[in-house]
Amino acid sequence: MTHVHRFMLTATFGLALLAAFPASAQQVITVASTTSTENSGLFDHILPLFQEQTGIEVRVVAQGTGQALETGRRGDVDLVFVHARAQEEAFVAKGYGVQRVDVMYNDFVLVGPGDDPAHLRDADSAADAFAAIAEAGAPFVSRGDDSGTHVAEMALWDAAEVAPQGRWYLSIGAGMGGALNMAAQLPAYVLADRGTWLSFQNRGDLDIVFEGDAGLLNPYGVILVNPARHPHVKATEAQAFIDWLISDAGQAAIASFTINGAQLFFPNAD
């Protein structure tokens, strides 16, 4: 049995062991996660439930996925909870993380002016919708921040065979909330995760103009930062959080998070 396998086997018992400890003995763990999980309100919903069960406090560093993974590479957090599968798998393959674990998914939506000047409502696919934006030269706000959303956006431009550039393409280097705010002010098109869109209040004239394509699926994974590389990582407590997220209780907590009756994230640990 490898070192990693021994560690993972031991860590699966983390929740039971930690729940037996007095709260005063618990430690604080830190997770680098996406602005979408933070801005949507998901953590405000689930973290108190986890802390009540285990006594472990989880502190969140909200960053784009690229920044979150870089924070994990430096060992500045105990785990990462992000949504760019290829980057996550590379993070693990290079030894920065122990294992990527599926937790949940939602999807991306294309949001834009209600009058839809590029006629995205008529598009047959997400790639066609992006091609229509470029052809019309319609304003588009890009996060431009190496986040999971930005990675997904660039993949969709590639699928549309478009290299976005010009005055219509606005790369702002900001989080999802900032991108939506700018799109509402202009107005402009923007790719958003559904969770943040549903919780976003300053919509102005914006509306969902394209959704439902398979290319817009948005899976989230959680990864323990490798304690063999960074011995200070609070591996047992962090693994306890992972175990809880994929447990029946954690998956139910994720599924129960709604805004105005709409479910924002869908558990998929199975």
Domain boundary, last residue among 196, 216, 236: 216
Q: Are residues 71 and 114 in the same domain?
A: no
User: In total, how many domains does the chain have?
Assistant: 2
Q: Are residues 186 and 250 in the same domain?
A: no
Q: How confident is the chain (270 residues) per 10-residue block, as mean pLDDT? A: 34 42 65 89 96 96 94 98 95 98 96 98 97 98 93 96 97 93 97 91 95 94 98 97 98 95 92
Those residues with Cβ within 8 angstroms of residue 170's Cβ, 6 or more apart along the chain or in another chain: 139, 140, 141, 142, 182, 188
pTM equals: 0.82
Q: Are residues 10 and 100 in the same domain?
A: yes
Provide the residue range defining the domain that includes 260: 3-105+219-267
Cβ–Cβ under 8 Å, residues 214 and 117: no
Task: Please report, for the domain that includes residue 46, its CATH number.
Answer: 3.40.190.10
Alpha carbon distance 221, 267 (integer Å):
11
Q: Which residues pair with 206 in a beta bridge?
A: 113
pLDDT value for 14: 43
Q: Are residues 211 and 248 in the same domain?
A: no
Q: Are residues 98 and 132 in the same domain?
A: no
